[in-house]
């Protein structure tokens, strides 16, 4: 965005406060706000932030084992190209930010900078990532002082659309006003659960758009006296909230979808299969970032369409990676791969970085994902699953973290310092959650993300 256009929008929309936000390793959007008169100074020099914030858990606890303590500073540096006036909050605007050192260099623990390094690796190969996050969320309304799911209607039902319309329409409008292209909307299987798939975007914008989406959905809810939960599994009796990640790799010059091959089975190219294999080969470590809370693992139950066995298959919604069929006449533009074991508590920059780290390794190794699974893996015998390498997902977050710690690929490309800091933070979260009853866990997570 040009500086003069930004100034024009500040005046036109009577902006009184600009927030510079970043998403920490814990998945929470945080930041600081400043007055418009300071914008040139902030764009040039950033805003101060303690390094220790990288180690703070979702419960605002700094583990004593953290490598960061009271000493040490970084800068919140807003990206002018992400400037948006907030349509649901008059007088407010937002910019998404990087975290830099006080010398102005990319900070080694900044999630957004990490994703940029992987995008640069793609660019060196002539590739561009296109991705979209597909969020499920639960609408809560106030009933006599208690927050309860909006309804108990059926999945995809017209009645659910009727009941949710006063809540959904303001969300859709606010997203569109910020340039987020909504592809469709529908009620989901859980009580009060809804889904709004959005258009895929290239590179960094795909992750930034996820930040905008969650900020907008939550902000619209607060402005209209209802609440939104992105908690993966708020109730054992209702479907959980996933955040499936759709992705494909495109040629930087020709702008062609390189995951599509019209002559291949299921229209999926060799490049796509190699990438898929890489993700499967490093799946437990990947899930440390895509399913990053203790609650995330409550969602992975057999026969619930959330997937729970390492596998891939064409249009198989119980597989880890679904080869999504293209739409007739638009195959080259719409064929993609959907990653299922992800939820809205993830940091989108770390989640995409994890997928790219594993997927690029699959390409480099010329890996094969094996034969596709043409049925629900849960219907196969344990012996058949074992013979085909379809292992059960990690049983809990600690297992994924152990896999991450042992994965030399992630240690190399994410950096030992980042991995160690992430492990310390997440183990502190686990320790706190383990001290709670399930009902207290629900309270701890329900409206936090």
All domains of the chain in start order, with CATH: 3-107 (3.10.20.70), 117-445 (3.30.590.10)
379-407 tens-digit pLDDT: 999 999 999 999 999 999 999 999 999 99
- Whether 358 has a pLDDT exceeding 80, the answer reads yes
337-350 tens-digit pLDDT: 999 999 999 999 99
- Tell me the whole-structure pTM to 2 decimals: 0.97
Q: Provide the strand spans (E) within 159-293.
A: 186-187, 193-195, 201-202, 227-229, 243-251
pLDDT, position 2: 84
Least confident of 77-81, 231-235, 351-355: 231-235
Rounded Cα distance between 60 and 437, Å, is 20
Closest CA to 15 of 94, 91, 95: 91
Question: What confidence category does residue 204 fall into, taking pLDDT thresholds of 50, 70 and 90?
Answer: very high
pLDDT, position 237: 82
Question: What confidence category does residue 70 fall into, taking pLDDT thresholds of 50, 70 and 90?
Answer: confident
Rounded Cα distance between 299 and 396, Å, is 11
Question: What confidence category does residue 31 fall into, taking pLDDT thresholds of 50, 70 and 90?
Answer: very high
C-beta separation of 242 from 136 below 8 A: yes
Question: What confidence category does residue 286 fall into, taking pLDDT thresholds of 50, 70 and 90?
Answer: very high
Rounded Cα distance between 332 and 130, Å, is 13
Within 8 A by CB and 6+ apart from 34, the residues are 17, 18, 20, 42, 47
- Tell me the Ramachandran region of residue 280: left when phi exceeds 0, alpha when psi lies from -120 to 50, beta otherwise: alpha
């Amino acid at each position: 965005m040009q500086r003069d256009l930004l100034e024009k929008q500040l005046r036109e929309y009577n902006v009184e406060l600009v927030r510079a936000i970043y998403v920490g390793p814990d998945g929470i959007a945080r930041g600081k706000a400043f007055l418009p008169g300071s914008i040139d100074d902030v764009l040039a020099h950033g805003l101060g932030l303690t390094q220790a914030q990288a180690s703070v858990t979702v419960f605002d606890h700094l583990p004593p084992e953290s490598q960061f303590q009271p000493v040490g500073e970084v800068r919140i540096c807003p990206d002018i190209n992400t400037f948006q006036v907030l349509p649901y909050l008059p007088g407010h605007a937002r910019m998404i930010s990087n975290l830099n050192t006080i010398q102005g260099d990319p900070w080694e623990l900044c999630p957004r900078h990490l994703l940029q390094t992987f995008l640069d690796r793609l660019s060196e190969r002539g590739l561009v990532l296109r991705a979209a996050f597909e969020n499920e969320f639960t609408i809560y309304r106030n009933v006599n002082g208690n927050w309860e799911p909006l309804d108990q209607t059926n999945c995809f039902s017209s009645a659910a659309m009727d009941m949710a319309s006063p809540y959904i329409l303001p969300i859709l409008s606010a997203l569109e006003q910020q340039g987020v292209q909504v592809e469709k909307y529908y009620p989901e299987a859980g009580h009060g659960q809804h889904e709004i798939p959005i258009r895929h975007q290239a590179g960094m914008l795909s992750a930034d758009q996820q930040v905008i989406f969650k900020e907008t959905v939550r902000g619209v809810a607060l402005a209209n006296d209802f609440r939104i939960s992105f908690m993966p599994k708020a109730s054992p009796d209702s479907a959980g909230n996933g955040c499936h990640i759709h992705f494909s790799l495109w040629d930087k010059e020709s702008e062609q979808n390189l995951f599509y091959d019209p002559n291949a089975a299921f229209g999926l190219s060799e490049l796509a299969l190699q990438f898929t294999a890489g993700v499967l080969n490093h799946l437990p470590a990947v899930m440390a970032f895509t399913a990053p809370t203790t609650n995330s693992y409550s969602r992975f139950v057999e026969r619930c369409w959330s997937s729970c066995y390492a596998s891939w298959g064409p249009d198989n919604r119980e597989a880890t990676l679904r080869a999504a069929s293209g739409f007739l006449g638009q195959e080259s533009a719409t064929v993609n791969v959907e990653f299922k074991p992800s939820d809205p508590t993830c940091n989108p920059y770390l989640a995409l970085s994890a997928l790219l780290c594993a997927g690029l390794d699959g390409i480099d190794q010329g890996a094969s994902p094996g034969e596709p699974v043409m049925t629900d893996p849960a219907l196969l015998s344990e012996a058949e699953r074992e013979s085909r390498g379809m292992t059960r997902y990690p049983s809990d977050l600690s297992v994924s973290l152990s896999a991450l710690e042992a994965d030399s690929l992630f240690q190399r490309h994410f950096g030992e310092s980042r991995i160690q800091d992430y492990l310390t933070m997440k183990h502190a979260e686990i320790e706190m959650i383990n001290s709670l009853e399930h009902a207290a866990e629900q309270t701890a997570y329900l409206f936090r993300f």
